Amino acid sequence: MPAEMRDDLIAMPAHRLAAAIAAGELTSAEVTADCLARIGATNGKLHAFIVVYQDEAMAMAEARDREARAGMTLGPLHGVPVALKDLCELRGRTTTCGSLMWRDRISPTTATIVQRLLAAGLVVLGKTYMVEFAYGGWGTNYAMGTPWNPWDLETHRAPGGSSSGTGVAVAAGLAPLGIGSDTGGSVRIPASVCGTVGLKTTVGRISNHGILPLSDTLDTIGPLTRTVEDAALMYSAMAGPDAADPATYGPPPLDARMDLSAGVAGLRLGTLGAAERDGVDAEVLAAYDAACKTLESQGARLAEVRLPDSFPNYLEQTGLIIAAEGYSVHRDWIEDDSIPFDPQVRARVLVGKGIGAADYVLALKRRRAVQREIDVVLRDFAAFLTPTTPIPAAPLDEVDEAKTPLSRFTRAVNYLDRCALALPCGFTAGGLPISLQIIGRGYDEAGVLRIGRAFESATEWHQRRPDLSPLLS
């Protein structure tokens, strides 16, 4: 292992790294150099980062150390490196949104979330690969390359999308923290199949200013991290009103760290009914059932939930909205055959061309009605528990791009305008991660984080790391 890399650092969650930096036990420069060394050793295989800001990151880390020595840390994640999904604008830098069409596109502004992370003292390492236009759940990008799921170095498996590079980077220890976006599961799916924590926030909680869009109705930004506490801290650093995004003025401010360690005793949690279990991988179901029992053993009260409609139907309705709005964003170039688009993404976008205005308006109207219906069904539950994905990471040569099984339980959350947390809850016999999804009420990020923290405190799944020694020797 190269001298710059330290096993003790990769094992530490971001909040502990920041505490050590503030106490003078570590420096941001040491942590950043470790990340950069790991990226340098593994990125040729893992294909997580599209660009690395090597010199800039080290200069920023040294500045964070000067601030720490002066007793002027800027927040509870001061000095910790972060990876940005390549749809986050960074003024003067290239932002591709996963498309060769934009490989030379220079950002005219910096996204609000990036401004806030910098103001909180974080260090930007670089930007990560993603599905083109953030439109795909498998994590594939046939034009720019698909990141490699680090849990199997022999077989190229789906990393989950669309925040594929970020999921791989955090899981592999290349970055303690990462940014993803979630329109139908694009934070939670890579968190699930890569074995990290991923928080899907409610629309309006975090500003979308400076984030290249797919669906104005459904797009959200969220963190991918190693622990629930890290997700809460990162969320708190990004959330809040922003004059550049009027949607952020609706929900009242919330401290996601509030009651984080309060536990689940007395909370009523919903579980899957028998019909919704059909088609879910047996190992995934076993891990899910064990996770539910773990929460029950901590005092939670479990009860089966019968939804008025099935998860696959919510998936279909969500897909209609995404296709219509995605086409409105990309209609000026998506049919230009001279541009080397990912053919799978082009096909998805073009579905939106065939959706009429009346069908689109009716879909939005039906969505509001379904939301009210579900609010009644779930009004007595603190959260609803599901697997995050119904299957573990599949080999790429088995991926059917015409189907979206990884989104089965995730898209409904976007459709219903709720928040959700994905976190590790087990592994298959072959060593692939399995994930629990905790679905909360809209704007109750603190609630899902509280439940996730309780589960995490009783288990050790989040402490496992993929074996990358063949790449580091």
Give the residue numbers annotated as catalytic, written as ranges. Answer: 85, 162, 186
Residue 220, token pair as written in the block: 């959200």
Distance CA 133, CA 140 (A): 12
The CA R_g of the chain, rounded to the nearest whole Å, is 21
Written in H, E and C, the secondary structure of the chain is: CCCCCCHHHHCCCHHHHHHHHHCCCCCHHHHHHHHHHHHHHHHHHHCCEEEECHHHHHHHHHHHHHHHHCCCCCCCCCCCEEEEECCECCCCCECCCCCHHHCCCECCCCCHHHHHHHHCCCEEEEEECCCHHHCCCCCCCCCCCCCCCCCCCCCCECCCCCCHHHHHHHHCCCCCEEEEEECCCCCHHHHHHHCCEEEECCCCCECCCCECCCCCCCCEEEEEECCHHHHHHHHHHHECCECCEHHHHCCCCCCCCCCCCCCCCCCEEEECCHHHHCCCCHHHHHHHHHHHHHHHHCCCEEEECCCCCCHHHHHHHHHHHHHHHHHHHHCCCCCCCCCCCCHHHHHHHHHHHHCCHHHHHHHHHHHHHHHHHHHHHCCCCCEEEEECCCCCCCEHHHCCCCCCHHHCCCHHHHHCCCEEEEEEEEECCCCCEEEEEEEECCCCHHHHHHHHHHHHHCCCHHHCCCCCHHHHC
Distance CA 114, CA 122 (A): 9
Please provide the size of the chain in residues.
473
For 28, 176, 189, 445, the CA distances from 411, given in Å and listed in that order, are 37, 26, 10, 17
